[in-house]
Amino acid sequence: MTFVQRHAYGFGCGLAAVFWPLFRRRRRISVDNLLRGGVASDEAEARRIAKRAFCHFLGHMCEALCVPGVVTKENWRDHLDCSEADPTAVKALLDDVDRPVLLVSGHHGCWEAATNIISFARPMIAVARVMDSKLLQNWIKKHHFRGPVTIVNKNDGFTKGILEQWQRENAAMTILMDQYSYGGAKTQFFGRPTRTVTSAARLAIRYGCPVVVGSFVRIAPYRYRLVGDAPLVFGKDADRDAAAQALNDRLEAAIRRYPEQYLWMHRKWRDD
């Protein structure tokens, strides 16, 4: 590895630590979320986790930009640890590539790096916020995502063409569902009422595909651990809100294992 690749995560963490005191509002939201969700027992612990999570966020973003130069089609399995994932989840996501799959996660672990890694196993369709700058978006597509990755603007929804591509290519459709969604399903997240985006639940019910809920957490430089239980499968008569709650529960369990790698800075509960 080059010097930049080797120290990318540390550089991001160090930069975040310097600027963390300036983000007063985000610090307060993070600490409140940790306390209200029962993840931290007191404010001192909440402040520690909140700062570490912010440092991880920026460290991960810096490292993710270097992932394509380190992780390749030939060595990607060497960078992935599946010891904390149910074997059926590993098979559904990485080995059983002759059928489409849903990957549901949140802003937890190393979601940017995960997109690159999974794309070596199967095509990826990632629902994300597209950059306002076309120049920056094209740079990201060219230099960040090296495999067969299709980025879908979350504001555009799921078009007929995207759904057909997902089925035709047996791709992994990736949806981050941890942020508050106005008009979403009424659910519980960390024991608090919230509203959750329903797109993952609706797709799972409509197509009957396996849903892997989990995260890729960082355990070492360019080493990531898949955390997730057995895939969920919903029948066509399943209740949408109940399915969304089941997905939330799985995601919460993964976050509780590694709270210092979760993005706590968003207002997640607005209904209590």
CB 31 within 8 A of CB 46: yes
Q: Answer whether residue 146 shows pLDDT above 70.
A: no
Identify which of 46, 48, 24 has the alpha carbon closest to the alpha carbon of residue 36.
Answer: 46
Which of 77, 127, 75 lies closest to 103, judged by CA? 127
Give residue-wise pLDDT tens across range 209-260: 999 999 999 999 999 999 999 999 999 999 999 999 999 999 999 999 999 9
User: What pLDDT, on the 0 to 100 scale, is given for residue 157?
Assistant: 74
Q: How far apart are CA 258 and CA 71, in angstroms?
A: 23
Contacts of 118 (CB under 8 A, 6+ apart): 93, 94, 103, 124, 172, 174
State the average pLDDT over residues 107-123: 90
How do strand 172-176 and strand 124-128 relate by DSSP bridges?
parallel
Q: Choose among 231, 236, 238, 208: nearest CA to 95.
A: 231
pTM over 0.75, yes/no:
yes
Question: Is pLDDT above 60 for 130?
Answer: no
Whether pLDDT at 111 is above 60:
yes
